[in-house]
Amino acid sequence: KAGVTQTPRYLIKTRGQQVTLSCSPISGHRSVSWYQQTPGQGLQFLFEYFSETQRNKGNFPGRFSGRQFSNSRSEMNVSTLELGDSALYLCASSLEDSTGELFFGEGSRLTVL
């Protein structure tokens, strides 16, 4: 069974630009959640999607957004990038919700210059 796939693995952007990250969950998993991981703040919950609807949202500004498609694949977008957005962005999938056993992808490492 294929795991969670995230693309791209690495990317470099400059301040003010925007970025879109993609996540393909494990087949059959309907919940996709996103996390930001930084050395200072650790793993922080961004949002969760289920059946193409955002079901839960963490405490991040509106520059962070996402969506989920009918095949459960998900994308997250960060607009007007700031230096502090540099982080590892992790996608996790689970069968039904984001509060159970999560299966993580390898992450997309974003560097903002």
Partner 1 sequence: GQQLNQSPQSMFIQEGEDVSMNCTSSSIFNTWLWYKQDPGEGPVLLIALYKAGELTSNGRLTAQFGITRKDSFLNISASIPSDVGIYFCAGPYNNNDMRFGAGTRLTVKP
Q: Would you tell me which residues interact with partner 1 (CB under 8 A)?
A: 4, 33, 35, 42-45, 48, 56, 58-59, 90, 92, 97-107
Q: Go through the chain and tell me how many residues it has.
A: 113
Q: Which is nearer to partner 1, 12 or 43 (CB)?
A: 43
| Least distance in angstroms from the C-beta of 90 to partner 1 | 5
Q: Which is nearer to partner 1, 33 or 72 (CB)?
A: 33
Q: Which is nearer to partner 1, 17 or 111 (CB)?
A: 111
Residue where the block lists tokens 């984001």: 98
| Least distance in angstroms from the C-beta of 6 to partner 1 | 8
Question: Distance between CA atoms of 99 and 92, rounded to whole angstroms?
Answer: 11
Angle at 56 between CA 78 and CA 24, to 5 degrees: 60
| Least distance in angstroms from the C-beta of 98 to partner 1 | 6
CB 23 within 8 A of CB 4: yes
Q: Which is nearer to partner 1, 62 or 100 (CB)?
A: 100
| Least distance in angstroms from the C-beta of 18 to partner 1 | 23
Picking from 103, 78, 99, 58, the residue whose alpha carbon sits closest to that of residue 11 is: 78
Give the amino acid at 33. Answer: S
